[in-house]
Amino acid sequence: MRPVALAALVAIAAVGCGTQAGSTPSRSPEPASAATASAAPATTGPAVPSASARPSASASPATPADPLPDGPVTALLVGTDSRDLSSWEGNADAVVVAQLSADRSTLALISVSRDSWVTIPGHGEAKLNAAFALGGAALLRETVSELFGGIELDYTVQTNFGGFLGLLDAVDGAWVANPHPAVAGFSSAGEVDLEAGNYDFTADPILLDDAEALYYVRQRFELPYGDLDRAHRTRETIIGLMERLDELGDDPPALTSALVHIASSVRITGELRVADMVGLAGVSRQLERDDILSIMAPIAGFTGRAGASVNLVDAAQTAALGEALRAGDVRAYVDRYGTDYRP
């Protein structure tokens, strides 16, 4: 299997989209660019339908050896359900902590359930996604940091519905492992409709290359563990998109073009330029699929609080995960607790 393109860290949050009702989303318009057009190479899996030509850089930038800070690098990735690409509001329905180990040999993807019952600094106890509603990405960042005992977050990456579809356009679609095959019920207006059964997501792997992919990453009903299974789909989608970017790495102009489009679809807190993203693709040549650890922040069970269904955080195991994150390497945590996320 090809090594994973670490450059996709800048777009990971794009796969986390919520369940807000409304009109069926359409693809976002391509961002303007003065660069020339270049077609992307074909994928190594079954053929992915080609998207329209995209602008790409006329020459790829110089590749830095490693543009990231020394030591482990940790990012908070936030996916919201806003359909307006100019809006950075909405509900934070996907929250992922991504950490690259100091030796660049392991990438951990850790989902934190939006329904986790947590302490929000200055606001008391509530669901995790309430932190975003109360104080935006900054308060969500502080809440997640404190949940794991004060982890340092080098970057925050945020995007929304339109950003996700724009990401698929940028890479001409991606093949994704489908750990939870199911038929999804959404109305033609995009509302959850369990009687509709309009979308067959039973293929494995599954090709995500059009607007239906949005319903795939949004689905939680009809999945055995609901939002936890949806978070698992999110992590698998992240991995599939990263592998697709690695394929584009064989064509530097196409990779640069894709990263330009990705960068236009996300908001990044922290210094990371498109040229740095290209450089990360070289760093990622050391990573294989087995070097990615897919983890759910531990949940002790489910209950009701403040009139809502919530997920109870496993305090002891979360403390152990936080210790591993602060140390910059979660492999010892996985060796002890594994990666099964079902309480």
CATH topology of domain 6-337: Aminopeptidase (3.40.630)
- Residue 328 pLDDT level (bands cut at 50, 70, 90): very high
Q: What DSSP line would sit under 179-203, residue for residue?
A: SS-EEE-B-TTS-B-TTT--EEE--
Calpha distance 156→10 (Å, rounded): 9
Of 77-91, 279-293, 317-331, give the lowest mean pLDDT range.
Answer: 279-293
Could you tell me the two tokens for 66?
């490693």
The arithmetic mean of pLDDT across residues 183-191, rounded, is 82
- Residue 287 pLDDT level (bands cut at 50, 70, 90): confident
- Residue 4 pLDDT level (bands cut at 50, 70, 90): very low
What is the β-pairing status of strands 107-111 and 92-100?
antiparallel
- Residue 22 pLDDT level (bands cut at 50, 70, 90): very low
The arithmetic mean of pLDDT across residues 288-304, rounded, is 94
The arithmetic mean of pLDDT across residues 23-29, rounded, is 37
Higher per-residue confidence, 314 vs 5? 314
Q: What DSSP line would sit under 201-233, residue for residue?
A: E--SSEEE-STHHHHHHH--TTSTTTHHHHHHH
The arithmetic mean of pLDDT across residues 24-37, rounded, is 34
In tens, the pLDDT along 130-182 reads 999 999 999 999 999 999 999 999 888 888 888 888 888 889 999 999 999 99
Return the SS3 of 329: coil
Calpha distance 320→341 (Å, rounded): 15
pLDDT at 167: 81
pLDDT at 274: 59
pLDDT at 145: 98
Could you tell me the residue ranges of all domains in the chain? 6-337
Calpha distance 136→104 (Å, rounded): 30
Residue 275 pLDDT exceeds 80? no
Q: Judging by beta carbons within 10 Å of its beta carbon (0-12, 13-18, 19+), is residue 230 exposed, middle or buried?
A: buried
In tens, the pLDDT along 307-325 reads 889 999 999 999 999 999 9
Calpha distance 183→335 (Å, rounded): 34
In tens, the pLDDT along 214-252 reads 899 999 989 999 999 999 999 999 899 888 888 888 888
pLDDT at 283: 57
Residue 62 pLDDT exceeds 60? no
